[in-house]
């Protein structure tokens, strides 16, 4: 058993060094690997020998990134993908067949919603939504052909929480695969596998890269399930590029220190704006006013880097607020060093109907703030002046 701390594993997990004895892993920008003998080639293809064959299957850079992530999540094995959505899609399409059914949380990433409602049904895979905060609804939606439960906690952008222990116990009791999108927290704050999840998916584009420069994703979990997903990925090709894997592996070395600062800054922003004139409400898991504050404290070590502000004055006020920002960026990303504000109603969640948005708490005045690593006083000052200017 590994008893080192996650910060240490994220730094000290390395693929074997080359003949050069380098201290940090080099970039393995190679499409394929050479065979020493005909027998070695045969054995590698027959899975009788471990080793690299072709970078769509595996590469030392993706191996290192995944080895670190598995240690952080407490997972047996994993798969790197070109984006978070490739990871979400692989986790479902790699396991499910026509006729299968999934129970998913209604509050879910916009593209994941499109996947469940528009794309997977093309191949006969159907789904039903349950309210993330109510484990009994998940149970009520289970059908004889249900194979998996898919949740995101905290949800994007509503910051609702799912009870990982309760939903994990349900999945276990009913023999279902529990898949958790852990993008908002990263394994530094929350480890769903320790609560009964079988697979964890990530958009590494967000906090893992952490600097708004790299697309990537991953699925980690039980060795048996990852084996199935690896077969799917090997023959459908959602592979992560070695260069992006190299960046992401390096970025995991600083995940802990970055997350500590994101969380400190986010808590400061949330605390500052709660009760301010012009702000109807503030949502942040580690504010006592969050309706699931006790659950947040139980399953998350800190509150994360995302704060939701619901502004008075609806969509018009929200638009004026965005246009008045001077330092903070208006962009659809999150988990960047730079603080970013997003207006889900008009951008990331614009494809949902008004009723679908309201059902997951996305009201017109809601803005999502991904609090970055700038000095928090400067972030607060800019949000404050935009709030005044938009009044």
Ligand X SMILES: *Cc1c(COP(=O)(O)O)cnc(C)c1O
Q: Which residues bind ligand X (CB under 6 A)?
A: 83-85, 88, 109, 152, 156, 181, 183-184, 203, 205-206, 215, 217
Cβ distance to ligand X smaller for residue 79 or 387: 79
Min CB(216)–ligand X separation in Å: 7
Cβ distance to ligand X smaller for residue 206 or 357: 206
Cβ distance to ligand X smaller for residue 202 or 317: 202
User: Does residue 34 have a cis bond before it (omega within 30 degrees)?
Assistant: no
Min CB(215)–ligand X separation in Å: 5
Min CB(218)–ligand X separation in Å: 10
Cβ distance to ligand X smaller for residue 305 or 365: 305
SS3 call for 200: strand
Pairing of strands 279-283, 101-105: unpaired
User: For residue 59, with 0-12 CB atoms within 10 Å meaning exposed, 13-18 middle and 19 or more buried, which class applies?
Assistant: buried
124: left (phi over 0), alpha (psi -120 to 50) or beta: left
Min CB(217)–ligand X separation in Å: 5
Min CB(130)–ligand X separation in Å: 17
C-alpha–C-alpha distance, residues 158 and 113, integer Å: 14
Q: What angle do CA 105, 301, 253 make, to 5 degrees?
A: 100
Structure tokens given for 219: 């699925």
21: left (phi over 0), alpha (psi -120 to 50) or beta: left
Min CB(111)–ligand X separation in Å: 6
**Could you tell me which residues come within 8 angstroms of residue 172 by beta carbon, excluding any fewer than 6 positions away?**
196
Min CB(335)–ligand X separation in Å: 8
Cβ count within 10 A of residue 210 = 25
When computed from its CA atoms, the radius of gyration of the chain, rounded to whole angstroms, is: 21
Residue pair 105/94 in contact (Cβ under 8 Å)? The answer is no
Cβ distance to ligand X smaller for residue 221 or 390: 221
Cβ distance to ligand X smaller for residue 65 or 386: 65
Cβ distance to ligand X smaller for residue 255 or 380: 255
Min CB(47)–ligand X separation in Å: 30
Min CB(349)–ligand X separation in Å: 12
SS3 call for 280: strand
Cβ distance to ligand X smaller for residue 58 or 83: 83
Q: Where are the beta strands (DSSP E) in 122-251?
A: 126-130, 146-152, 177-181, 199-203, 217-221
Cβ distance to ligand X smaller for residue 304 or 365: 304
Structure tokens given for 82: 């070109």
C-alpha–C-alpha distance, residues 135 and 137, integer Å: 5
Residue pair 133/160 in contact (Cβ under 8 Å)? The answer is yes
Residue 195: DSSP 8-state: G
Structure tokens given for 227: 């084996």
Q: Name the residue with the smallest CB distance to ligand X.
A: 84
């Amino acid at each position: 058993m590994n008893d080192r701390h996650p910060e240490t594993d994220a730094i000290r997990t390395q693929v074997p060094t080359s003949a050069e004895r380098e201290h940090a892993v080099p970039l393995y920008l190679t499409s394929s690997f050479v065979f020493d003998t005909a027998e070695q080639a045969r054995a590698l293809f027959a899975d009788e020998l471990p080793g690299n064959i072709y970078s769509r299957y595996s590469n030392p850079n993706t191996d290192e990134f995944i080895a670190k992530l598995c240690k952080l999540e407490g997972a047996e094995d994993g798969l790197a993908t070109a984006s978070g959505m490739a990871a979400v899609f692989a986790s479902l399409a790699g396991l499910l067949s026509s006729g299968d059914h999934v129970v998913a949380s209604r509050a879910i990433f916009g593209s994941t919603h499109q996947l469940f409602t528009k794309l997977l049904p093309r191949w006969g895979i159907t789904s039903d939504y349950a309210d993330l905060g109510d484990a009994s609804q998940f149970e009520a939606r289970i059908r004889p052909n249900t194979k998996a439960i898919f949740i995101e906690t905290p949800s994007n952008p509503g910051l609702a929480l799912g009870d990982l222990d309760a939903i994990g116990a349900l999945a276990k009791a009913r023999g279902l695969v529990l898949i958790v999108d852990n993008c908002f927290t990263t394994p530094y704050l929350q480890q769903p596998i320790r609560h009964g999840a079988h697979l964890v998916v990530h958009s590494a584009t967000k906090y893992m890269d952490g600097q708004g420069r790299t697309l990537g994703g991953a699925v980690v979990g039980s060795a048996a399930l990852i084996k199935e997903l690896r077969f799917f990925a090997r023959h459908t090709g959602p592979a992560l590029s070695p260069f992006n894997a190299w960046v992401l592996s390096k970025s995991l070395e600083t995940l802990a220190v970055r997350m500590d600062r994101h969380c400190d800054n986010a808590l400061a922003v949330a605390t500052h704006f709660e009760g301010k004139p012009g702000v109807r409400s503030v949502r942040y898991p580690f504010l006592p006013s969050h309706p699931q504050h006790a659950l947040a404290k139980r399953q998350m070590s800190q509150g994360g880097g995302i704060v939701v502000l619901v502004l008075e004055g609806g969509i018009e006020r929200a638009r004026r607020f965005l246009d008045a920002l001077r330092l903070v960026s208006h962009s659809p990303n999150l988990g960047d060093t730079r603080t970013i504000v997003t207006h889900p109603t008009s951008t990331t969640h614009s494809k949902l109907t008004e009723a679908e948005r309201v059902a997951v708490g996305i009201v017109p005045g809601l803005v999502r703030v991904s609090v970055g690593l700038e000095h928090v006083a400067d972030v607060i000052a800019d949000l404050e002046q935009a709030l005044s200017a938009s009044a």
